[in-house]
Amino acid sequence: MTQQNGQQNGNGQPAESASLLPEGRYKVKAVDHTYGTAGAKKTKQIGVALEIVEGPHTGTQLSWYGFFTPDSEEFTINGMFALGFAGVDEKTLYSGEAQAVVEHEVYQNKKRAKVQWLNPIGVVMKDQMEGAELASMKKYVQGLAARLKGGANGGGNAQQLPARKPTAQAPQDDIPFPDDDDAPQQSRYRR
């Protein structure tokens, strides 16, 4: 089992393995947790040991730290909810899986992987439709699909979406065209 980001070596310093966990999103589960404080201000925090449960890095462990300050406590509790925490029984923290967003940072002159966010797995929407509103939306989407596809029975005078025309390939030369990776990165909120 490989230990990554946030885990400590015998000197109490963050351990950095020979191969740094790549930045990305990983499906994780909680395997341990503890509460403590950080820094001179004794900021209350939770530390959660996570284990990657899917993909080529399965079994790799990493740590996530959530802080309980007025500016961060909502993000911390939401991260705990993503892992399955039900709000009362701490054992529920181990009941689910979440998506860990891992980014690289430099800490004490060493590059390390850090869990920036814990998010629920799947589609999350702040304002989900329910009840009559949801039923109405489903009916609307079904009707739209039937109209554009040719009706429920495949017939009728439905309007078909036009097919995309293939584009001609540009001649190859030595000048690379910019792509999305060349655009300046903006600060992202909850990646």
Domain termination residue (choose one: 120, 139, 174): 120
Give the per-residue pLDDT at 117.
92
For the chain, what is the radius of gyration of the CA atoms?
A: 23
* Distance separating alpha carbons of residues 104 and 114, to the nearest angstrom: 6
Q: How confident is the model at residue 171 (pLDDT cuts 50, 70, 90)?
A: very low
Number of domains in the chain: 2
Residues 30 and 83 in one domain: yes
Give the per-residue pLDDT at 189.
38
Cβ pair 58, 52 in contact under 8 A: yes
Q: How confident is the model at residue 123 (pLDDT cuts 50, 70, 90)?
A: confident
Largest CA-CA distance found in the chain, in angstroms, rounded: 74
Instruction: Tell me, yes or no, whether 106 lies in a domain.
Output: yes
Cβ pair 148, 160 in contact under 8 A: yes
Residues 111 and 130 in one domain: no
Whole-prediction pTM? 0.60
| Long-range CB contact pairs, 49-52, < 8 A, 24+ | 50/100, 50/115, 51/1, 52/26, 52/27, 52/28, 52/100
Give the per-residue pLDDT at 151.
56
Collect all residues with Cβ–Cβ distance below 8 Å to 34 and sequence separation of at least 6: 46, 47
Give the per-residue pLDDT at 112.
93
Instruction: Tell me, yes or no, whether 164 lies in a domain.
Output: no
**CATH number of the domain to which 48 belongs:** 2.40.50
Residues 63 and 135 in one domain: no
Instruction: Tell me, yes or no, whether 42 lies in a domain.
Output: yes
Cβ pair 112, 16 in contact under 8 A: yes
Collect all residues with Cβ–Cβ distance below 8 Å to 57 and sequence separation of at least 6: 2, 21, 26
Q: Is the pLDDT of residue 22 over 50?
A: yes
The boundaries of the domain holding residue 48 are 24-120
Instruction: Tell me, yes or no, whether 187 lies in a domain.
Output: no
Residues 59 and 128 in one domain: no
Instruction: Tell me, yes or no, whether 181 lies in a domain.
Output: no
**For residue range 102-111, what is the model confidence (pLDDT) as tens digits?**
999 998 999 9
Residues 73 and 138 in one domain: no
Quote the percentage of the chain above a pLDDT of 70: 69
Collect all residues with Cβ–Cβ distance below 8 Å to 56 and sequence separation of at least 6: none
Residues 131 and 44 in one domain: no
